[in-house]
Amino acid sequence: MIVRAGTDADASAAARLHAAAIREGFLSSLGPRFLTRLYRRMVRDPGSFVLVAEEDGAVIGHAAATESVGRLYRRFLVRDGVVAGIATAPQLLSQWRSVLETLRYPSGNDDLPEAELLAVAVDAGPRGRGVGRALVAAAREELLRRGVSDARVVVAADNEPALRLYTSSGFRPSASIEVHAHTTSQVLTWS
């Protein structure tokens, strides 16, 4: 297995993995076209990145991170918002509250690090073989290389496998929040 920087060509694989492995939040419900556009923006964004784990030429996992969630969301809205909105209009309209909650999320977290590990997803077959741990370690290294010395990750409070992965990778519980109404998430940080 190798871990490398993701490219535009990896955006659809990252979207597929996200939709299959990450069920909490509402991004998965927006479908593969929206997620592919979002991951393509993260690859292209100077303050964000996507890493992929590859085995025998196939993408088996990915991690995505950003130096600033707010800046990433603003760039996505400006550069991709119209096309992404048209492609997913029915889902966005039916889940307008979740859209507003997601857009509002970065604000009000001034006591938490601005940088965030946004997603880690591993294909079902290689789970349990250390792929997620390797991706988290590589994401931390890339953030450090960029001069980011602390970051957060937000996980559904009942997602025990993810909580174990992040705590064993050096993240520590820091806060409980509700990004979406009536859904508690745990914020873990490292510094």
Q: Residue 92's pLDDT is what? A: 65
**pLDDT at site 57:** 94
Q: What is the largest CA-CA distance in the chain?
A: 43
Segments in the chain below pLDDT 50? none
What integer pLDDT is reported at residue 98 of this predicted model? 57
Q: What is the pLDDT, as a whole number, of residue 109?
A: 58
Percent of the chain as helix, strand, coil, to the nearest 5 = 45, 25, 25
| Ranges of each domain in the chain | 2-148
E-strand ranges in the chain read 2-5, 48-55, 58-66, 116-122, 151-156, 172-180, 183-190
The closest of 121, 160, 120, 118 to 21, measured between CA atoms, is 121
Residue range 107-147, pLDDT digits in tens: 555 688 999 999 999 999 888 889 999 999 999 999 999 99
Q: Please give the model's pTM, rounded to 2 decimal places.
A: 0.87
Fold classified for 2-148: Aminopeptidase (3.40.630)
